Structure 1
């Protein structure tokens, strides 16, 4: 007879990491929101493109995507800092 899923040690470790990444996700979404406002303000008040801010925004959105993939069981790999920061394609830059 097989044990239920909650009896496995891996389940509890994953649950602990999921709670941790839920808090990290909230922090990352806050940073993402701040960056969206900053990029919008710079574009509104300047003729120059905020390339660096847009690059940071792309990086944070890739990190948020990694967290969502982990929390939704779409990926078994833990996001940063347990694997490298998500790479951003140069084609995707602003």
Structure 2
């Protein structure tokens, strides 16, 4: 490969990454909304039953980890693509 080919591939990769960053930013906003709605539901559960729902807590933890993966990707702190390119983060 010559230098022009390598430069062309790098430019194509940065544009692809830019597109993925936009899509992941939209996913971050969507999961933020889901997390907010889930927090309200969890609060109602805690009011009614005097204890939070453990399944919702585990799901909330996994959503938070997903948001962390997105933040790391869009800020160039990580090259690892988040879900759906990898497995959904566990809530354990």
Shorter chain as normaliser: what TM range? 0.7 to 0.9
Q: Determine the structure 1 residue equivalent to 2:34.
A: 31
CA–CA distance in structure 2, aligned partners of residues 49 and 15 of structure 1: 39
- Unpaired runs of at least 5, structure 1: 90-94
Q: Which of structures 1 and 2 has the bigger CA Rg?
A: 2
The runs of 5 or more residues in structure 2 that have no matched partner are: none
Deviating 4+ runs (over 2 angstroms) = none
Superposed CA RMSD in Å reads 2.1
**Cα distance between partner residues in 2 of 1:30 and 1:48:** 23
Give the total of aligned pairs: 87
What residue is the counterpart of 2:22 in the other structure?
19
Q: Does 1:72 align with 2:67?
A: no
